[in-house]
Structures are given as C-alpha cells and as structure tokens.
Amino acid sequence: MSRMGLIACHDCDLLQRETVLPRGATALCRRCGAELYRDRSATIDRTLAWALAATIFFIMANAFPILGLKVNDTIVHTTLWGAGVLLYRDGMWPVSALVFATTLLMPALEILAVLYLLVPLKFKLAAPRRHLAYRVLQLARPWSMTEVLIVGVLVALVKLVHIASVVPGVGLWALGAAMISLAAMAAAFDPRTVWRHGGSTGAAVAGTAAAQPARTPATACATAPAPASASAPASASTLAPALVTPAPTAARAGLFTCHVCGLLCAAPAPAHEGDCPRCGARVHFRKPDSIARTWAFLVAAMVLYIPANLLPIMNTSSLFGAQHDTILSGVVYLWVSGSWPLAIVVFVASIAVPMLKILALMFLVISARMRMRGMSRRNTRIYRMLEFIGPWSMLDIYVIAVLVALVQFSALATIKAGPAAIAFGAVVVLTMLAARSFDPRLQWDQSEKRHV
C-alpha cells in the first residue's frame, strides 16, 4: 500500500488517508475521535497577523506594570519580570524559574518560532533549519500559560482590594490582548503548511504533505464541517463505529509516527527507534518505558502533594501579626469575602485538578498494565482531558507571584511565598510530565491483541 497521503492518529495509531476537506471542516480519527487536521484558509496571512499582534502586546505586557498597589502616598508597581526577580531574592528560585519559564520564556519562544517559520513562507521561501524551529514551537506550546496567568491576576486582584487601592496598569490590558492573540495564532497555525511549501525534507520516505481523496472506506478520515459560529470539532456521534477486525495501524505497517511533525517513515526491520528524516526528532513505535516513566513522575507527585496542601503556601506579616495561609485557607478566604466564583475556580484548579490528574493517570497506567480491554475509547478521552486541564494547576503559583511582588510595605505589610509553593509547583510540573510520558496508543494495542 502506498504511503502517499497516509496519516496516523497520535492517540490510537490508526492509519487513515488524508482527504480534501470542505471549507472550515475538521478531520477526526474514525476510531478514537481525535482531531487529525483542519481546513485553515489563508493560514499564513492570518497566522502572521496574529503573531505580529502577539509580539507587540507581549512586549508591552512586559515593559509596563501590570498592577499597582497604593497605600497612603506609597505606590508599589510590579511587572512580570519584577515578580520573578522578587521571588528569586526571597530564596524561592524554583518558583521564580517556573514563573519565568511559563509566562515569559515559553510564550516568547512560541511567537518567535511561528514568525521564523512563516515569514519566509510569505515570500515562497523555506526558513533555514526550520525543523529546529518547529521542534522549539512544539516544545514551548504546552508550557506557555498566559491564559492561566490572567486568571491568577484576577484572583490576586480580589485579595488585594481588601488591603489597599489597586491600580490596573497598561501591562494588564496588554497581557489580556497578548493572551487573545496567542490563542488566535495557535488556532490559525497549520503545521502542514510549514512542510508543504518550499519542499519537504524526508518526503521520499513518507508522503503526508499532499492531501488526496480517500480511496477505501476502511481507512478514510471522517470529516465534519465546523459550525459557522464555532471552530470546535464535530461530536463523536458523527464518527463511524470502531473497527471489529485488526486495525491498520502504523506499527502493524512497520511505520514510525513522528509526534513532532506528523511524518510517517519506514522503520528498518530490526529497529524499534530512529530519527525523523524531516524534523530530526526521535521516533519510536511506542514511547520507550512509557509506563515506568509515568509511574515515576506520579509517585513523586503524590509524595509532594501532601506538603503542598499541608504547609503554608503564603506568609503574611503586618502590624496585626503574622499569618500563614495554605491553599485551602485561601479558598475559604475568597468564599467568605463574597468572591465565591473565584473560590470555586481556585479550589478546582489548585486542589481538585491535581488530585484528579493523579488518580486519572493512575487509572490509565493500571488499565494499560493490566491489559484491560473494551475501554480504549473512553480512556483516550480521559487522556485528552488531562492534557487540556494540566496547565491550570499553575493558578495558585501566579497568584502568589503577584501578591509577593505587590505587598511590600515594610512594617505595614509584606507577603512572602511559603515552602508549599515549591512543593505545589513541583506537583504541577510532575503531573504534566507524567501525562506527556504516557502513551495512549498502549490502550489500543490491547484491543488489537484481542482480534489476533
């Protein structure tokens, strides 16, 4: 079977043929319902416009104060960079590094990588070493958390209004605009455009760049036009039923699937890993030691989850004495002060989500390890949900960063990060690494064995 026009689902490994989509349509995997690709009209111009807007707003968000706090005649302003520096000076360098990486470094890398890839394409050229820029983009995107930062600033605002007068800065509005621009840029960016224009390294070994009409019903992508008012994929109810015979997967066909650029490439007979000929990323039939690595990250996260919730995450000193707040006491404060919607958001993001992530990942690992069958589709949905909600656990870290940077009034009041901030930040990172280490295709391998 020719590999031209083939694409493999990253969640279940099913081989399918690319098909020409109607305007605004989305191609979904016919077995697990994962999004494969979308029709994006005028993608280069639109993506470049949003990337340039994000660049301008992102620079403004970091050049101007995001918030100011006024007590009597004293005004304290803070920028994102200033918040990270203050955490570092207080000895909280792990938290400072985490805030710097997720709010400054990764968003900047994401914007720069998109500009580097698309500006030459605008002039029908291919960027030198574009495979490296594309790998940087794929690395930075999951760790860019501007939208979580905005919610964290709002939560901090509620707490600050009970202390002094809050003065929103230009940086806050620019940060909101940067968040919208980044989201729009990510939605408009079409990864296939990068490889389709100006030639495609590695196209001789696997053809995924050219879209071809489906030839056989068993391997065709299911497509559904997106509604005029939304760009979300069609619901799973529009998909074909699951296969009841051994499915044509990339692994069965002896093909590696690159999770960075999506290329399918033939694997030498004895080899189980190699390098993608297009982007240079390491490719495998399945992620090596997936279950063992996921368990290692999960165990570390479970150990640190206890001090993250029991130790103080924030220490406040004022004329009325010292106060040590845990994550739960912060939720109670928001609820009692009348900000119950934010209290629910903080409780869900900072307490419920980390616990549910740990429990859900344990369930997925045990299901794959025990070779449970008949739950592959549901487990894949759980995995996709975990990837989506993972960054939102960073909410409390951003709240602390803003409060520490602003409440610095010497004898009147000061706020410092507590030891739980380090433990909680580690839990967030470890659970995200655990989710990225788990290979959802292992769930479908068990279903395959049932029919062999």
pLDDT surpasses 70 at 229:
no
Q: Topology of 288-447 in CATH?
A: Butyryl-CoA Dehydrogenase, subunit A; domain 3 (1.20.140)
- E-strand spans in 109-268? 165-168, 222-225, 255-257, 264-266
Q: Answer yes or no: is pLDDT of 449 > 60.
A: no
Q: Delimit the domains of the chain by residue range.
A: 43-209, 288-447
CA distance 348 to 151: 13
pLDDT tens readout for residues 197-223: 654 433 334 333 333 333 333 333 333
Burial-class residue 125 by CB neighbours within 10 Å (0-12, 13-18, 19+).
exposed
Question: pLDDT band at 234, cuts 50/70/90?
Answer: very low
CA distance 255 to 237: 30
Q: Which of 36, 136, 188 lies closest to 127, judged by CA?
A: 136
pLDDT(182) > 90: yes
What pLDDT shows up at residue 208?
A: 35
What mean pLDDT comes out for the span 26-50? 84
Q: Is the pLDDT higher at 111 or at 229?
A: 111
C-alpha closest to that of 437 among 285, 279, 250, 297 = 297
Does pLDDT of 95 surpass 60?
Answer: yes
pLDDT in tens, 144-171: 999 999 988 888 887 777 777 788 888 8
374, 348, 360, 349: which is closest to 438 by C-alpha?
A: 360
Instruction: Name the strands in the sheet holding 222-225, side by side, starting at the edge strand that comes first in the sequence.
Output: 35-38, 25-28, 222-225
Residue in this structure with the two tokens 């845990």, named with its chain if needed? 326
Q: Which pLDDT score, from 0 to 100, does residue 67 have?
A: 85
| 433 or 206: which leads in pLDDT | 433
| SS3 call for 127 | coil
Of the chain, the percentage scoring pLDDT greater than 70 comes to: 81
**What pLDDT is stored for residue 223 in this prediction?**
34
User: Looking at residue 319, what is its pLDDT?
Assistant: 56
Amino acid identity of 450?
R
